[in-house]
Structure 1
Amino acid sequence: MDYDVIIVGGSYAGMSAGLQLARARRKVLVIDVGERRNRFAAHSHGFLGQDGREPGAIAAEAREQLERYPGVTWLEGRAEGARRIEGGFAVDLGTGRVASARRLVLAAGVSDSLPEIPGLRQRWGRSVFHCPYCHGYELNQGRIGVLAVSEHSMHHALMLPDWGTTTLFTNGVFTPDAEQIRQLAARGATVEAALVREVRGEGADLVLDDGRMFELDGLFTMPRTSLQIPWVEQLGCELEAGPMGNFVRTDAMKQTTVKGVFACGDIARAAGSVALSVGDGAMAGAATHRSLMFEAD
């Protein structure tokens, strides 16, 4: 085998897994395409010791620390596929190149698909968000909108009054029933049923089809997610359905349904954050090392 472990994905979860393995003096290859999910955000919040820091700076420092370990090799590129071979796994690196390892950690994350509303994508990570814990505090108890994408958006609308004055824009996606209206009212949230035409302004002002405009300090919505490595099912890993999209099923030790394959971070969660990804990665790295020590290939 070329390596003890190949990690597919070098963002927060992948680097955290790699750090545990590097410190266990294992030979590790990290393959990363350089598309962090939070690359659109100016600041990262909620990660102890790094609160308010630029996400790219956190990732760059983490990579520099990881690469100090002599057992770590970093490869910039995309893993095109993986398959089981005798004694481990082979990963297709493209252009005919293949790397092999006894264990595989999937940490490539997910990509987000936003509602097709003019002006929305341009504000993603700046004034349009999906995680209240990551971005709600900075809105300073201001005017917050929730753009519905399904009935699951009720969860957003019921949460966000803790961060500001909240309006749920149902946008023709669903109609809250009497009980849902009661729940929203109890939390101080209001409902607007008109369709949304566009997002404009320095914040995330919504222009409705009837010409009215709601001035907002921030807008929250739930993007659909897709796995960054579409070949994960071909490897044999089972998926679970989450409210935003499928994710890889793992056990408490972050092992997938394929023995010897572990997964961590957003690829293996219904929802996540930088802090959760780092914790997931630490668990996956330690569990992978345990597997190398005590389990047969």
Structure 2
Amino acid sequence: MDNSPDVHICEVAPRDGLQNLDVIVPTGAKCELISAIVAAGVSEVDAGSFVPATVVPQFGDVGAVVAHALTHKSTTIGAVVPNVKGAERALAAGVNSMYFVISASETHNRANVRRTIEEQLEAFRVVRARINAQKAPERPHLVGAVATAFGCSMEGDVSEAAVCRLVQGFAEAGADEIGLADTVGYGTPTQVKRIVRAVRNETGPKMMLRLHLHDTLGAGLANVVAGLEADVRRFDAAVSGLGGCPFAPGARGNIVTEDLVFMLERMGLSTGIDLDRLMATREILARHVEQKHLTGHLHEAGIPRVLRRVA
């Protein structure tokens, strides 16, 4: 019997949640956070980013953090790789999944990685070849992540055609999965459904899709529902709503994992995640992260006693 949950959630707080903070979270705290997330039943964790510490000091310890994360054998441990060198480091570390990000907005992509979209796609092809050269059991899952798929803080609207061109490039280069990211949180439910369906038409029904949503303008959970209605069952989220985009100053972070789990379970969709244990991760973060960075409706209001049994 298939006991997999109805909805798969990847926890991104250890990477996307921490990368823009103005304080360096100690390595031990990052490891403690990942262990607590795994203990809550989360089956995939984005543990860090293989970028130079001179660019993102938060990830100067990514090797140690990923090594700890990989001790949790039942959980998929992934990392962002911005280029071929980062991918080679991730391969050497033994990650289970790689997230290779390219923006659908040319301006955002140049600002983010200092390359054109086509230059990034060529790097993605090289990474695919590097992975294919590994022995089959050691090949990580490769996600082609489309940033700014629902809008850009620099260009404004991003066309459906631009998103589909990048998706096509990822698919032709051998992506195992496509992620659509609302990097700056400008997306709306109608837009999410429209773009997801356009991408489905581009890739066919067999390509795995996920949504990475932000809550900048308060539409995050509404966009999850839109994704569900478009048959997406894989979502990224961050405990306590950590995160944001450096090119959207002041923007709120990722959708809140705790709120997402509560909503999905109330909708009758299983996640496999223990909400009480997930809520407890706030205590770890609060020791190192200012309260202003920690959000979440459940944390603010509490879970009403009459709704404690959310299944």
Specify if TM > 0.5. no
TM-score normalised by the chain length of structure 2: 0.28
Name whichever structure is richer in strand by fraction. Answer: 1
More RCO (CA 8 Å, sep 6+):
1
The structure whose Rg is larger is 1
